[in-house]
Amino acid sequence: MSSTKNDKKGTQSRKSQGRKSAEKKRIAVIPGDGIGKEVIAQAVKVIQAASANVELTEFDWGADRYLRDGTTVPADGFAMLARDFDAILVGAFGDPRVKTNIHAKEILLGMRFKMDLYANVRPVRLLDAALCPLKGIEPKDVDFVVLRENTEGVYTDAGGVFKQGTPDEIATQEDINTRKGVERIIRYAFQYCEEHSKLDGSPRKTVLMCDKSNAMTHAGGLWQRTFKEVSVGYPRITAQHMYVDALCMQMVRDPRQFDVIATNNMFGDIITDLAAGLQGGLGMAASGNIHPGRTSMFEPVHGSAPPIAGKNVANPFGAILTVAMMLRHLEFEKEADKIEAAVLAAVREKKTTQDIGGTLGTKEAGEWVASRVR
C-alpha cells in the first residue's frame, strides 16, 4: 500500500526507494511441509511472471530434511539468511511423521525470535462480497490490519511442569512482556497508521490496542501504560482500546470500524484467524514478519494441512498475496499491484479453488494468476 505522506521529505524518500527497486533483490524460498510445497510453487511462478528483478534460492528445510539427517536449521542458517538475502518466503510447517513438531518450532519460531522479526503484519482485506460470511458486507467494509507482537508472550515457552502424570500435576506457562517489546510494536502500529492508506486511498485514522488487562493485570498494565504514553506522540491518530473478547464480537458484528489493531502474540494469533474468516478463510490470508531495515520473512497464514496435501486442492492465493506483500516491502510497487489485480480478477471470474467457489486445482489456479500477471 502506498504512503499517504505528502511532505518534501516523504517525496524524496519515495524517489530514493524507486531507485532501490531497480536493484536485484535476493529472496530465500523455504516451501516447508504439506501444502506449503504446493502453494509456494505457485507463488514462485507468479513472482517469475511479474518479472520483478529478483533472484530466488530455495532451501529444503522441513520435515523431509529433518527425517533424513536430523537437521532443522543449519548451524549458521539464520545468520546466513540475514546476511545474504533481502527477504524470505516461507510456506508452512507441520508433518504427522514428526510427532513433536520440533522442526516447525525451530525453523518458524526460531526465525521470528532469533532474527528479531518483532512485527507480524496481517492485512485483512475482502476482495469480493461473496467471500464474506457476513450479510451486507462489501469489500470496502473489510480493510484493516492486525499488528501482532511476534517475539514475546507465551510463545517464548517459559514455564514448566511439576509432578507430571500424577493427580498433583502443576503446569505453568509464562506470558513474557517487556517494555521494549511492547513499546516497539505499539510505535510500529502508529507509524503504520500514519504511512499507509486504505485500498480506496483514504487515510487510516485509528490505532486500537487489544488486551485483557482486566484479568491479566500485570502484563495488561504494561500494555496500557505504554499505549497511552506512545499515543501522545501521534495527535492525528485516534487511540482506542478493546478487551480481546469484545474485539472478537465487534469484528464479526461490524468490521468497518477497524483500521489498525495492535496486540500481543497470543491474542494476535487468535484474532487474525477469526479475521481471515471475513476475507474468505485462511487460504486467502497473507502475512509478513517484519523488522524495519532488516531481512524480513513473509508467509501465508494457513498451516501445512496434511489431510489435503498432495491432492491439488489447496488455495494458493494466500501465498500469492503474500508474494505481493513481500514485493511491495522490497519496493516493487508495480509488480505487487499487478499480482493483487490478477488475484482480484481470479476471484471475480471464479478462477479459484473450490474453497472459495471455483473449480480449479491448486496448480491451475496459480497458473491462471501467473498468466494474467504475465
Residue 255, all three cell numbers: 468490521
Cell 529472496: give the residue. Answer: 27
Predicted local confidence at residue 199, as pLDDT? 87
Domain boundary among 226, 253, 278: 278
Q: With H, G, I as helix, E, B as strand and everything else as coil, classify residue 24.
A: coil
Do 101 and 151 sit in the same domain of this protein?
no
Do 183 and 73 sit in the same domain of this protein?
no
Closest alpha carbon to 330 in 126, 114, 47: 47
- Segment 300-309 mean pLDDT: 96
Secondary structure, 3-state, 160-214: EEECCCCCCCEEEECCECCHHHHHHHHHHHHHHHHHCECCCCCECCEEEEEECCC
100 within some domain: yes
13 within some domain: no
- Positive/negative CA dihedral, 169, 103, 111, 333: negative
Residue 227 DSSP one-character state: H
Identify the CATH number of the domain in which residue 340 sits. 3.40.718.10
126 within some domain: no
> Cα–Cα distance between 243 and 222 in angstroms, integer?
15
Do 95 and 212 sit in the same domain of this protein?
no
pLDDT of 231-288, one tens digit each? Answer: 999 999 999 999 999 999 999 999 999 999 999 999 999 999 999 999 999 999 999 9
8 A C-beta contact, residue 294 and residue 330: no
Do 161 and 219 sit in the same domain of this protein?
yes
Catalogue the active-site residues. 155, 212, 245, 269, 273
Predicted local confidence at residue 22, as pLDDT? 58
163 within some domain: yes
Do 138 and 183 sit in the same domain of this protein?
yes
pLDDT of 95-120, one tens digit each? Answer: 999 999 999 999 999 999 999 999 99
Closest alpha carbon to 32 in 80, 95, 97: 95
| Crossing angle of the two packed helices 362-373 and 35-50, in degrees rounded to 10 | 10
Count the domains in the chain: 2
3-state helix, strand, coil in the chain (%, to 5): 45, 20, 35
> Cα–Cα distance between 323 and 47 in angstroms, integer?
7
Query: Does 2 score more than 80 pLDDT?
Result: no
Do 307 and 261 sit in the same domain of this protein?
no
Q: Which residues contact 364 (CB under 8 A, 6 or more apart)?
A: none
- Segment 300-308 mean pLDDT: 96
pLDDT of 318-372, one tens digit each? Answer: 999 999 999 999 999 999 999 999 999 999 999 999 999 999 999 999 999 999 9
89 within some domain: yes
Do 58 and 141 sit in the same domain of this protein?
no
12 within some domain: no
44 within some domain: yes
Do 146 and 228 sit in the same domain of this protein?
yes
- Segment 211-224 mean pLDDT: 97
Closest alpha carbon to 349 in 367, 363, 369: 369
Range of the domain at 152: 133-278
- Positive/negative CA dihedral, 32, 36, 41, 47: negative
Q: How far is CA 162 from CA 172, 177, 203, 287, in A?
A: 9, 24, 52, 37
Do 49 and 141 sit in the same domain of this protein?
no
Domain boundary among 263, 278, 293: 278
Query: Does 14 score more than 50 pLDDT?
Result: no
Residue 207 confidence class, pLDDT cut points 50, 70, 90: very high
- Segment 165-185 mean pLDDT: 97
Predicted local confidence at residue 4, as pLDDT? 34
295 within some domain: yes
Do 167 and 236 sit in the same domain of this protein?
yes
pLDDT of 22-63, one tens digit each? Answer: 589 999 999 999 999 999 999 999 999 998 899 999 999 999
Domain boundary among 236, 253, 278: 278
